[in-house]
Chains A and B, each alone.
Chain A
Amino acid sequence: MELLVAAAIGTLTAGGVYLILRLRSFPVILGLSLLSYAVNLFIFSAGRLAPGKTPIITKGVTDYTDPLPQALVLTAIVISFGMTAVLVLIAIGAHLGAGHDRTGMEDPPGPAAGEPAADGQEAGR
């Protein structure tokens, strides 16, 4: 199971980093979401992988798992959720204002290298 969790975290991180390096805001937001999934799993595994054990003191139970990483993950999930919402709103505002969703500050004359051709909204500028 360690291998599976580690591979999942690694794959999510790699995908997230790749998407963040794209030049358009939509893939960047997706990449940040993937990264936050990766880090949530990572925090969870910081308390060691212990399936089937209870985190909260219960009568008749002697074998516990660490509850703190679960609380930390909850905090991290809530924060990344809120941040993603803010980011999406800012990205929509920037997209509507600029007519395209490139993340750079300069306006290139044509489609950026390695990017798909301009979409309909851009043709309408």
Chain B
Amino acid sequence: MMGHWIILPVVLPAILAGITVLAARHDLIMQRSLSLAGTAGFLAVALWLVLHADQPEAYRLGNWPAPFGIVLVLDGLSALMLVLLGAVALPVLLYVIGTEWDTRGQHFHALYLFQLMGLGGAFLTGDAFNLFVFFEVLLIASYGLMIHGGGEVRLRAGLQYVVVNLVGSTLFLFALATIYALTGTLNMADLAGKWAALPAGDQALARAAAAMLLLVFAVKGALVPLQFWLPGTYANAPGPVAALFAIMTKVGAYAVIRLGTLVFDQGPTAGMWQALLIPAALATLAVGAIGVLGARGLARQAAFAAIGSMGVVFLAVGAMTPAATAAALYYMIHSTLAGAALFLLADLVTDRRGTDRLDIARPPMAQGGLIAGLFMAAAIAMAGMPPLSGFLGKMLVLQALSVQAALVWTAVLLASFLTILGFARAGSALFWKAHASGEEAEAHRAEPLSFVALGLVLAGLAALTLAAGPVTGWLEHVAAALHAPEAYITANTLGERG
């Protein structure tokens, strides 16, 4: 029994964010302490929840019974996403403090905590409309973080980001209203029961609603053809914010896994998302790999690598089998950490070099050897070469999709090859060619905390590799529960009085 612990990932950052805005707005040390305490507390609660989440458990807000009230439901997948979020957010926050990014604008820490609250809520909620609300919470915090530090180019990129997401939100509402009109409920577990029993006359509308929802999640998850907003946004966002955003694309994947396995793979929409996801995921993989090869800046390259990794995730999600879902979850953990590491590296490089452009020659950067080594580790992880977890993740995905080996294996392996080429080119342009000029490196602050933060993310990747056996074992258990959601549905105790 987890009781009130379930709501803590939402309430804890919300309260601390409020205190940060109201009481500590002029006190940077206080802001940093509150935000560190909030993020560390979030991670601790998430770890506690993951240890106790062997059975799904619902938390009724205001003690109203489902489906009339809103419930938060904690199951293995939610707990996993919470831990992943905490594991990315804590190093990124250390990095922000180490590089003093939080002094370049106001209210960074409050927005950061609100971002955690929105993401935590989105992973926990068991109600589709509540999912929309938490999407908006995390988005509005992300708008603030994205334009943190200001600057004309960043504001214009931020404008595009906001517009794209507002269109996505409108589409989300259209889809939810259609689903409500058809079924009379928005509780996910209740929907799971009613979706298969829709009358024949409503089935076309049901398919339209499911397609609209998939579009919304495709915008969030940067699935081709709706990936166009991501490179501009991530490359122009502050480096550590882009690193935190590495988990934002996973919100789209999370929603597809949750609703795809629970509700939409039955009745009028059986097999529909799979049929749409697989070709789109293959195209995403291709766009990501070609983008990594062709990008002119390191941050942009990291953004395209993030798109490519979403391609692999959605490919495995689209198969909708327990083995493939487990592989998708493993690769999702890996690609979030690897993406965050790459964005942090791009920020370190930009800070020391003045630009992250690969085609502009600059003298060697301060601490160049250390950064080059870390870049090599992150690039190996992202491209999926041994010995890091990217290799294992891709192996699992390929193994799970061996039915369609000819097409899928070719695409994944070719994309990995292009990614390796792209990163090799970036590494040689940034770290080797710099020495051709014969100039000395410019002095720069040492910033040990930033390197510790980056080291923590990479240590997470190493731990994921070393503990691959137990982790995949647990993920298979989680995936099996997702594909047989009876326990999740009974946890909602639909229609019973509280």
Binding site for B on A (CB under 8 A): 20, 25, 28, 32, 35-36, 38-39, 42-43, 45-48, 66, 68-69, 72, 75-76, 79-80, 82-83, 86-87, 90-91, 93-94, 97-98, 103, 105
Contacts and interface: CB of A to CB of B under 8 A. Distances in A.
A35 B170 contact: yes
A83 B147 contact: no
A32 B163 contact: yes
A116 B60 CA distance: 55
B441 to A, nearest CB: 32
Contact of B159 (A20, A43, A76, A91): A91
Contacts of A47: 180-181
A83 B151 contact: no
Contact of B158 (A32, A42, A80, A90): A90
B160 interface: yes
B156 interface: yes
B157 A97 contact: no
B238 to A, nearest CB: 15
B48 interface: no
23 contacts: A32-B163, A35-B167, A38-B170, A43-B177, A47-B180, A68-B180, A69-B180, A75-B129, A79-B136, A79-B169, A80-B166, A82-B140, A83-B162, A83-B169, A87-B163, A90-B147, A93-B147, A93-B150, A94-B158, A97-B150, A97-B152, A103-B160, A105-B232
Interface string B131-147: 00100100010010001
B432 interface: no
A68 B143 CA distance: 29
B477 to A, nearest CB: 36
Contact of A87 (B150, B156, B159): B159
Contact of A20 (B136, B157, B167, B173): B167
A39 B159 contact: no
B147 to A, nearest CB: 6
Nearest to B144: A86
Given A39-B170, A90-B162, A105-B153, 6 more contacts: A39-B177, A43-B177, A72-B177, A72-B180, A87-B162, A94-B156
B177 A69 contact: yes
Contacts, number: 93
Contacts of A97: 150-152, 155-156
A45 B160 CA distance: 31
A43 B169 CA distance: 13
B177 A75 contact: no
Nearest to B171: A39
Interface in B73-127: none
Given A25-B159, A46-B180, A39 B140 contact: no
B5 interface: no
B156 A36 contact: no
A40 B147 CA distance: 29
Of B153, B157, B163, B177, the most chain A CB neighbours within 10 A belong to B177
B173 A39 contact: yes
Contacts of B64: none
B163 A28 contact: yes
A34 to B, nearest CB: 10
Nearest to B68: A68
A48 B177 CA distance: 11
B474 interface: no
A32 B178 CA distance: 20
A87 B232 CA distance: 17
Interface in B147-201: 147, 150-153, 155-160, 162-163, 166-167, 169-170, 173-174, 176-178, 180-181, 184
